[in-house]
């Protein structure tokens, strides 16, 4: 049995995508517009949002900064007014900077945590009460396979994604019995402006369009965790189950670090 109610028909479904100006969020917007969803798009980049909205044949543009607490309730209210309500929210905004342990600095640490973790939690706080009052809705948290276990060059990014995985699990325990579905998306390597910063070979790299299709396909099956590409993500899941001594040896051998 699926852990969520499958979403197969997006016609006139009211959808808010946070982090929609580029990457997976932008590709999701185009894919869902093609399927008939009514969209509201948010990010800091107003021009980027407007360009994506045009590709969608028209969508509400609601600029916001997820690191600003006051922006969450304000943007959520604007989205509900623009769409006449809210059925599905994608929390996709995120930032990534490859970092080793000796490269940590306070400003980058705070910026990454504020965007990747606090920005999602505060966003959920802004939309869940209305969904609970109606007894329906869906929250989609975009994490990463970097949250499965410690990986080199992800000294801050990885821990924020691990926390998001835990947070999504808590949300499902709390909300699903009350009518609100929770989906967790854990992509592997996807060709986005963020991963362009990587200076190493990214195994099983896929396009943002393919990522968007896989997310929609997973939601159609009602899956709690949607992870892809599976040939890569399943290998990481299995590696994370190894005793730590073996896991560390494997990661060092594979990465050469």
Q: Which residues are the active-site residues?
A: 157
The conformational region for residue 218 under phi > 0 = left, psi -120 to 50 = alpha, else beta, is alpha
Cα separation, 121 vs 99, in Å, equals 24
Cβ count within 10 A of residue 207: 13
Counting Cα atoms < 13 Å in the Cβ hemisphere of 24 gives 30
Counting Cα atoms < 13 Å in the Cβ hemisphere of 17 gives 28
Token pair recorded at residue 59: 């969508």
């Amino acid at each position: 049995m699926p852990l969520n109610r499958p979403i197969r028909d997006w016609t006139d479904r009211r959808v808010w995508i946070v982090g929609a100006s580029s990457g997976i969020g932008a590709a999701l917007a185009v894919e869902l517009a093609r399927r008939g969803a009514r969209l509201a798009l948010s990010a800091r980049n107003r021009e980027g949002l407007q360009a994506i909205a045009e590709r969608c044949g028209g969508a509400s543009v609601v600029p916001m900064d997820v690191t600003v607490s006051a922006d969450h309730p304000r943007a959520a209210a604007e989205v509900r007014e623009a769409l006449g309500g809210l059925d599905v929210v994608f929390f996709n905004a995120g930032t990534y900077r490859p970092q080793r342990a000796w490269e940590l600095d306070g400003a980058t640490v705070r910026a990454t945590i504020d965007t990747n973790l606090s920005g999602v939690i505060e966003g959920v706080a802004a939309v869940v009460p209305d969904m609970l009052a109606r007894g329906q809705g869906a929250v989609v948290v975009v994490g990463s396979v970097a949250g499965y276990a410690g990986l080199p060059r992800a000294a801050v990014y990885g821990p924020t994604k691990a926390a998001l995985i835990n947070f999504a699990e808590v949300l499902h325990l709390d909300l699903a019995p009350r009518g609100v579905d929770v989906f967790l998306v854990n992509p592997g390597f996807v060709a986005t402006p963020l991963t362009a910063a990587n200076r190493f070979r990214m195994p099983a790299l896929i396009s943002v369009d393919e990522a968007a299709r896989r997310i929609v396909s997973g939601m159609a099956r009602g899956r709690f965790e949607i992870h892809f590409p599976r040939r890569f993500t399943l290998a990481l899941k299995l590696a994370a189950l190894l005793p730590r001594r073996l896991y560390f040896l494997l990661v060092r051998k594979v990465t050469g670090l």
